[in-house]
Amino acid sequence: MERKVLVIGLGLIGGSLALAIKREHPNSIIVGYDKSESELSLAKALGVIDKNAKKLEDEAKEADLIILATPVMQTEGIIQQLATFDLKKDVIVTDTGSTKKRVMDSARVLANNGVTFIGGHPMAGSHKSGVTAAKEILFENAFYLLTPSEYTSRLSVETLKEWLKGTKSKMVEISPEEHDELTGVISHFPHVIAAALIHQAQRFDQKNSLVSRLAAGGFRDITRIASSNPEMWKDISLHNKEVLLHLLQYWADETTKVISLLENHDEEALLQYFAQAKKFRDQLPITSKGAIPSFYDLYVDVPDYPGVISEITAYLAEARISITNIRIIETREDVYGILVISFQNDEDRLRAKQCIENITNYDVFFA
């Protein structure tokens, strides 16, 4: 008997989940539904899904697994819509959103109908979006957080894990409240701070245009997440408002502490402040995937002569190593004239480092 999976939302996450599920469950039928007809047609043409859902209700009623891979605000509305359908009693509904408490609260309407909803959050992403960027290996070694309710049976949780086995991710079960606090600290709050840093730089740029020119180096790197989808981050911020407000107050206290250290010219305390931050940062995992997509950048200190960039790229092409981006950093704190090469994954970056070091005497390093 064929089992059906309905994926609602065929962007990067939804498309990648569809591919991962098909890898582990080749006999399943993957049905796609998206408000964008072009994205839906593209998903079918690329083989990401087996079938387009012409009418959501008809496909939802036959599905064994329903995945809501939509923005968090849309997810709540789709849950309410699903609650009006006559779904299978053993169907499992899950989502992929970055916030969980509000979604889990909304999903109580499904539980009232005897339908199992298990919150989900695959903590992986990419700098590209849309179904064309989907790949079955996107979630490998990434954390996949599940937030079952107190009424969720063990069998349902294990069934969902079996469906998601092809993601090859690390499944972790936590409460919705714990999820929102954790992601608030390591993902949502950093996005707010990155946006704030950009706003501050923009204000100073109006006084001195050198700000934007000099910001092309390290400043651009540490604020790169501010380039994320504004609509999505507006929704996430409002969904996780209570946690963000608490963290922003803590940040205000931290800022006050630094102001005091500077005003008092407390050299020892400042040294300890930066030393403790360095120690904790240096202990963070390098290869593990986290809440914010990794940028696999390689820095090459190259000499300034015509053709040096094409020389480096030719070495990588000969070694069959693909690159996703390449740029020159003219000025960067303590580093000058650096070629930055970006890769799809850490394996390609390590191969590229070895390749360049074997052929040249250039200084090659990670940031």
Q: What CA–CA distances, in Å, run from 101 to 28, 71, 158?
A: 31, 15, 21
CA distance 333 to 338: 11
Contacts of 205 (CB under 8 A, 6+ apart): 211, 212
Spatial CA neighbour of 56 closest among 86, 73, 33: 33
pLDDT at 212: 82
- The count of other CB atoms within 10 Å of the CB of residue 137 is 16
pLDDT at 1: 66
pLDDT at 336: 44
CA distance 193 to 223: 9
pLDDT at 331: 42
CA distance 103 to 266: 46
Q: What is the pTM of this model?
A: 0.78
CA angle, 320 then 324 then 325, to 5°: 120
Q: Are 110 and 93 in contact (CB under 8 A)?
A: yes
Q: What CA–CA distances, in Å, run from 247 to 180, 243, 244, 320?
A: 12, 6, 5, 45
| Helix/strand/coil for 72 | helix
Q: What CA–CA distances, in Å, run from 4 to 86, 88, 92, 309, 323?
A: 16, 11, 11, 49, 37
pLDDT at 295: 67
| Helix/strand/coil for 222 | helix
| pLDDT tens-digit series, residues 308-363 | 888 899 999 999 998 888 877 654 444 445 788 988 778 889 999 999 999 988 88
Q: Which residues of the chain have pLDDT under 70?
A: 1, 126-128, 216-217, 286-295, 329-337, 367
Domains (range + CATH), the chain = 4-174 (3.40.50.720), 179-282 (1.10.3660.10), 296-365 (3.30.70.260)
| pLDDT tens-digit series, residues 72-125 | 999 999 999 999 999 999 999 999 999 999 999 999 999 989 999 999 999 887
pLDDT at 334: 42
Q: Are 101 and 176 in contact (CB under 8 A)?
A: yes
CA distance 74 to 11: 14
Spatial CA neighbour of 363 closest among 305, 291, 293, 298: 298
| Helix/strand/coil for 199 | helix
* Tokens 């593990």, located at residue: 288
